[in-house]
Chains A and B, each alone.
Chain A
Amino acid sequence: MTLKELWHRLGSPRWFYQISGPLIWVLGSLATVLLVVGTVWGLAFAPPDYQQGDSFRIIYIHVPAAIVAQSAYMLMGAAGVVLLVWRMKLADMVIAAVVPFGMSMTAVALFTGAVWGKPTWGTWWVWDARTTSMLVLLFLYLGLYALRQAVPRPEAAGRACAVLAIVGLVNIPIIKYSVEWWRTLHQGATFTLTKAPAMPPEMWLPLLVNVIGIYCFFGANLAARLRLEILERERATSWVRGLIEGTPR
């Protein structure tokens, strides 16, 4: 029964608010340490790529951003299912909180990809399979953002976004596959990470550190956003009023 209890507790925004305060600090400090270590390691200590030289170091931020942007969408789709099936308030807040984060990370992945592409491929933009699916992901996030802005009632907006997030989630694998198929059809001589020879550990370890770091960052940022959502939506309840009364002038 404990699992069921936990599930019911998760449905309570108040409970989440109470436990998430320390969580933000733990995840936030972990993220800071990991990202600083991984970035300094990747920028200063990892050996340069034999083909691309030092511009390859952009992957230490580009790849984590792309991975976390996609994971964020997966999480949002899962939250959409939870919201529609169990009507859990926290799931609605997760959808609302993930959208701006995921959108910004997708934009970062696209931008750093372009900046990497310039010295590597000689052009800012390549219609490569991954860049294209990231672009579609950006549009999916933008659609969710616009939908929430457009629907006047918050409760309806949350569930509308849940439906869209789930439809998007089902579509993402198809989009990825179709785009990959599309690129292999008329693929020129482009350089991709997967076709490069396997990286030595001193090159991929900092990447791994940064990936874990950015997940921690995601966790901390999501928790902080959720707390704000909880405060705004539960504003009229007595426990939030208690918090407000406790704030110094």
Chain B
Amino acid sequence: MSFDSFAAFLAMGGHGLYVWLAFGSTVLVMLANVVSVRVRTRRFFRDAADQLRRQQAASGSGGQSERRTGGNRAPELDQMADGSIDAS
């Protein structure tokens, strides 16, 4: 242990503000990296499941078709299509 007391540890030899600012900001950024991906993944599943349900309700047949056909698409499907079609 390099410090005599917890107060000395917090003070960091007078440089406490700088040390804790640096570490605090880093922890925040790293957490933001983790949390943002997790939140977006959750949102993806939620939105996609919602869409799928709506789509199944609209078609009435209950998700028979594995692949979408281009003919009569619901408006929300157009949103869904951007990115996914081009990339695949």
Residue numbers of A with Cβ under 8 A of B are 39, 43-48, 53-55, 57-58, 61-62, 65, 89, 92, 100-101, 104-105, 107-108, 111-112, 115-116, 118-119, 153-155, 217, 221, 224-225, 227-228, 231-238, 241, 243-245, 247, 249
Contact = CB atoms under 8 A, between A and B. Distances in A.
Contact of A231 (B29, B41, B80): B41
B87 interface: yes
Given A47-B2, A107-B29, A53 B13 contact: yes
B84 A234 contact: yes
Contact of B37 (A115, A228, A233): A228
B30 interface: yes
A112 B25 contact: yes
15 contacts: A53-B14, A57-B19, A61-B23, A65-B26, A101-B33, A104-B32, A116-B22, A119-B15, A154-B83, A234-B87, A238-B66, A245-B49, A245-B63, A247-B45, A247-B46
Contacts of B45: 231, 243-244, 247
Of B30, B37, B38, B81, which is in contact with the most chain A CB atoms at under 10 Å from its CB? B37
Contact of B22 (A45, A48, A58): A58
B21 A115 contact: yes
B29 A233 contact: no
Contact of A58 (B18, B52, B86): B18
A-side interface mostly = helix
Interface of B: 1-3, 9, 12-15, 18-19, 21-23, 25-26, 29-30, 32-34, 37-38, 40-41, 44-46, 48-49, 52, 63, 66-68, 80-81, 83-88
B-side interface mostly = helix
B48 A244 contact: yes
Contact of A57 (B12, B29, B52, B85): B12
B52 A227 contact: no
Contact of B85 (A43, A44, A236): A236
A207 B12 CA distance: 18
